[in-house]
Amino acid sequence: MAVNLLDFDLDGLTAFCATLGEKPFRAVQLFRWVHQRGVADFDAMSDLAKSLRGKLAGAAVVRSLPLLSEHVSADGTIKWLFDVGQGNAVETVYIPEADRGTLCVSSQAGCAVGCRFCSTGHQGFSRNLSTGEIIAQLWHAEHRLRGTGGRPAGERVIDNVVMMGMGEPLQNYGALVPALRTMLDDHGYGLSRRRVTVSTSGVVPMIDRLRDDCPVALAVSLHAPDDTLRDNLVPLNRKYPIAELLDACQRYLDRAPRDFITFEYCMLDGVNDTPEHAQALVQLLKARIHCKLNLIPFNPFPASGLKRSPRERVLAFARVLQDAGLVTTVRKTRGDDIDAACGQLAGEVQDRTQVQERMARLRLLPAVGGREVIAIVPVATGAPS
Ligand code: SAH
Ligand code: SF4
């Protein structure tokens, strides 16, 4: 089968071109056509020698993901649902803001971590996405949106990528790193390291590897100030408890593009949101690590049995942290009218690991129900215009 060029970072593409007898500068040209201009048709790559175009036509393709639906929220947020085969689908969300465009990218079909408050986690795990499937989400979004909404034709739309869609990116490390490199490459998307964020529930050894291989901004999903509560909310904590996680965060800061780690904290009514929890968080973090706190109002879904903390409690919690000198923001919820908000991304996942059954056995969940089916609006598929 023809290789998919979206699977390669520039080094990979250079090696592939070498197998065709082509010099490295040809790989640069090709990489720019694909990622900077969004071109999938080799015949349209006018400055590539005809002989190379001929070789590529026989050996390679630029294959994005088949699009199942596109939903546009009242606030301008866009959610795409992509088919990744065998009954699985993943979601990608574009979030426009006054000064920038952010893309929230998925790394897996489902997720094996199984956090209690996360819709993806409740669905179980099917499989890792390939590098090509990760980068296809950015390729599609960037080139689909370029020139729309009154933007000048060549102007970049997405300048911020957050690996906060479906899946645990650090449990798909091998595919993640070439995708990150393509995002950062000046011949690719040219994104700043500070504007590419990997969000993790805390896979400690992989935080160390990311620091060595491809340091980008790091967000860590903390959600609790102590191990007992975190064990219950984020099952991975039983393997990598908070002290080990914070040590890894500290090591990461040596090479991080920003001088702080962002801790995400999902506010769950009556579970982790009292002033005592806030004080415990201050004790845990204050003297230990340079960080920022991002409080996320919980986005409910029926099977979780959990509720969003009332706004006043979120603000009171934030005040305790701020008064202690911890920089704290409360995340604005975007796109919730189209189920595009944090933790609502469920796609369609064929659970191959019986996560749902295991959770139910552990009585972590009051009930395991299906999620309401996403309305699928057919749209044109194929290369974005
Ligand atoms: N697996 C990674 C990245 C994807 S989840 C991680 O856990 O960090 C991205 C963010 O959404 C995480 O901070 C996660 O805790 C948060 N999240 C998950 N479910 C949520 C929900 N129902 N409401 C609000 N935030 C949620
Ligand atoms: Fe997986 Fe992140 Fe959801 Fe936890 S919050 S289940 S790690 S996607």
Question: Hey, where are the domains in the chain?
Answer: 3-61, 67-375
Q: What is the pLDDT of residue 260?
A: 97
Q: Does position 81 have pLDDT exceeding 70, yes or no?
A: yes
Q: What is the pLDDT of residue 236?
A: 98
Query: In this structure, which ligand is nearest to the CA of 121?
Result: 2
Q: What is the pLDDT of residue 370?
A: 27
- Choice among 160-174, 189-203, 245-259, 365-379 with the minimum mean pLDDT: 365-379
Neighbours of 55 (CB within 10 A): 18
Q: What is the pLDDT of residue 374?
A: 28
| Mean pLDDT in residue range 266-270 | 98
Determine the atom of ligand 2 nearest the C-alpha atom of 118.
3
Q: Which CATH number is associated with domain 67-375?
A: 3.20.20.70
- Burial letters 15-45, b for 16+ CB under 10 A, else e: ebbeeeebeeebbbbbbbbbbbebbbebeeb
The band of 151, judged by pLDDT with boundaries at 50, 70 and 90, is: confident
Domain 3-61, what architecture? Orthogonal Bundle (1.10)
Q: Does position 356 have pLDDT exceeding 90, yes or no?
A: no
> Residue 346: CB within 6 Å of ligand 2?
no
Instruction: Tell me the whole-structure pTM to 2 decimals.
Output: 0.91
- Mind listing the pLDDT tens digit for each residue in 123-147? 999 999 999 999 999 999 999 999 8
Give strand ranges (E) for 284-326.
291-297
The band of 357, judged by pLDDT with boundaries at 50, 70 and 90, is: low
Residue found by looking up tokens 């090479």 in the block: 255
Q: What is the pLDDT of residue 349?
A: 75
Q: What is the CA radius of gyration of the chain?
A: 21
Q: Which residues line ligand 1 (CB under 6 A)?
A: 117-119, 164, 168, 199-201, 221, 264, 266, 296, 298-299, 342-343
CB 340 within 8 A of CB 299: no
Check if 3-61 and 67-375 are the same fold: no
Query: In this structure, which ligand is nearest to the CA of 222?
Result: 1
Q: Does position 352 have pLDDT exceeding 50, yes or no?
A: yes
- Mind listing the pLDDT tens digit for each residue in 178-219? 999 999 999 999 999 999 999 999 999 999 999 999 999 999
Determine the atom of ligand 2 nearest the C-alpha atom of 166.
8
Task: Give the Å distance between the CA of 201 and the centre of ligand 1.
Answer: 8
Query: In this structure, which ligand is nearest to the CA of 304?
Result: 1
Determine the atom of ligand 2 nearest the C-alpha atom of 120.
3
Residue found by looking up tokens 């959770």 in the block: 359
Q: What is the pLDDT of residue 241?
A: 98
The band of 372, judged by pLDDT with boundaries at 50, 70 and 90, is: very low
> Residue 201: CB within 6 Å of ligand 2?
yes
CB 189 within 8 A of CB 197: no
Bridge partners (DSSP) of residue 327 are: 292
Q: Does position 111 have pLDDT exceeding 80, yes or no?
A: yes
Q: Whose CA is nearest to atom 4 of ligand 2?
A: 115
Q: What is the pLDDT of residue 346?
A: 66
Work out the mean pLDDT of the chain and round it to a whole number: 90
Task: Give the Å distance between the CA of 42 and the centre of ligand 2.
Answer: 38
Q: What is the pLDDT of residue 376?
A: 28
Q: How far apart are CA 304 and CA 367, in angstroms?
A: 8
User: What proportion of the chain, given as a percentage, has pLDDT over 70?
Assistant: 89
